[in-house]
């Protein structure tokens, strides 16, 4: 099992290397106990290898929306996609704690009868989970036509197993309450809703319109990872459905956002991706964050258009020279 290597160069100087990945490799972070595996989420033995009998309090899954699942196939027939989805869902449920939360980002393509979302939801009815909510995150950019409404929504399904922890405080946004009304007499005094409220800001509810979609001007951007989710959205999920020290899993690491969020919020993350490239980007992003405090690489192009080659060297991924003084 490969590890991050620390090689002495001169006194008090070390060289930090980004681990390389191939299928079957799992890297264990020696600092926070995170794991990154180059594994297949649809294979039970791969998931068990990553988890090593541990159980997670929270799962955040962002599977391919029936496009580019791996090098062997791209757009599957719908029934095959649901069959594949059921495999990784079952593997996920098997490693969740008896009281746990599961969030799934998914697509509803308006050009193809809103699939795969509806058939995926039907499949989920058979699982030992309770459907809790259907969240929509509004994107600032979308695709559209002069003959239809622009598509700017991102679907997020929320399921629970047992009776998990939920922190309602995590729902509050940075948006102040402004609308007055709903007058009510309290102790002989007529009050309006803002006076009676326990908070000065509004709750996000199940429509999130306060989160900026990731684009090239943001520091957290990993250019070339086009399915990247906003860090603020992942942090909201983690704060709502886990506590410090809890184990969180993500079977489709992609740009590594779930891992970065768990590191920031003092949780532990076991994540995987079938792509060695995305695994390396995830590890590099963690080491880059620890080294520079930055959440991503901003405008720097990281991947080529085929997503099969990293365009910059390890030194650049780490945020500069790989030699630094510990003293």
Q: Has residue 85 been placed in a domain?
A: yes
pLDDT of residue 55: 99
**Residue 175 covered by a domain:** no
Q: Which domain holds residue 256?
A: 6-165+211-325
**What CATH number is attached to the domain comprising 115?**
3.40.50.150
Q: Identify whether 16 is part of a domain.
A: yes
The pLDDT assigned to 147 comes to 86
Q: What is the mean pLDDT of the chain?
A: 86
Per residue in 132-190, pLDDT tens? 999 999 887 766 678 888 888 899 999 999 999 999 887 777 666 555 555 666 677 76
pLDDT computed for residue 187 by the predictor? 73
Assigned domain for 81 exists? yes
User: Is 24 inside any structural domain?
Assistant: yes
pLDDT, tens digit, for every residue of 74-84? 678 999 999 99
What does the alpha-carbon distance between residue 81 and residue 75 come to, in Å, rounded to a whole number? 8
- Which range, of 115-119, 172-176, 220-224, averages the lowest pLDDT? 172-176
Q: Does the residue 104 lie in any domain?
A: yes
**What pLDDT does residue 51 have?**
99
Q: Is the dihedral of CA 241, 243, 248, 254 positive or negative?
A: positive
Q: Please check whether residue 194 is in contact with residue 181, taking contact to mean a CB–CB distance below 8 angstroms.
A: no
* Average pLDDT estimate for 109-136: 95
Residue 251 covered by a domain: yes
**Residue 108 in domain:** yes
Phi, psi of 291 (to 5 degrees): -80, -40
Domain count, the chain: 1
């Amino acid at each position: 099992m490969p590890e991050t290597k620390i090689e002495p160069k001169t006194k008090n100087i070390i060289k930090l290397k980004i681990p390389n990945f191939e299928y079957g490799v799992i890297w264990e972070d020696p600092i926070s106990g995170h794991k990154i595996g180059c594994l297949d989420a649809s294979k039970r033995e791969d998931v068990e290898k990553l988890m090593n009998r541990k159980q997670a309090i929270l799962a955040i899954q962002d599977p391919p929306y029936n496009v580019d699942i791996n090098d062997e196939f791209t757009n599957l027939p719908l029934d095959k996609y649901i069959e594949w989805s059921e495999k990784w869902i079952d593997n996920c449920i098997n490693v969740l704690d008896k009281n746990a939360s599961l969030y799934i980002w998914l697509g509803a393509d308006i050009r193809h009868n809103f699939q795969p979302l509806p058939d995926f939801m039907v499949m989920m009815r058979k699982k030992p989970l309770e459907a809790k909510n259907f969240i929509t995150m509004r994107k600032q950019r979308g695709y559209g036509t002069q003959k239809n409404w622009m598509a700017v929504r991102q679907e997020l399904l929320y399921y629970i197993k047992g009776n998990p922890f939920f922190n309602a405080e995590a729902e509050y946004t940075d948006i102040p309450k402004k609308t007055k009304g709903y007058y009510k007499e309290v102790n002989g005094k007529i009050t309006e809703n803002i006076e009676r409220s326990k908070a000065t800001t509004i709750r996000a509810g199940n429509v999130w319109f306060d989160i900026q979609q990731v684009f090239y001007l943001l520091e957290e951007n990993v250019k070339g990872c086009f399915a990247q989710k906003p860090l603020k959205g992942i942090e909201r999920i983690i704060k709502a459905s886990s506590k410090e020290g809890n184990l969180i899993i993500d079977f489709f690491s992609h740009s590594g956002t779930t891992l970065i969020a768990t590191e920031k919020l003092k949780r532990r993350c076991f994540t995987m991706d079938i792509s060695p490239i995305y695994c390396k980007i995830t590890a590099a992003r963690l080491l880059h964050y620890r080294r520079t405090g930055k959440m991503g690489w901003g405008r720097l192009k990281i991947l080529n258009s085929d997503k099969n080659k990293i365009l910059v060297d390890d030194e650049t991924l780490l945020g500069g020279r790989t030699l630094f003084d510990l003293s």
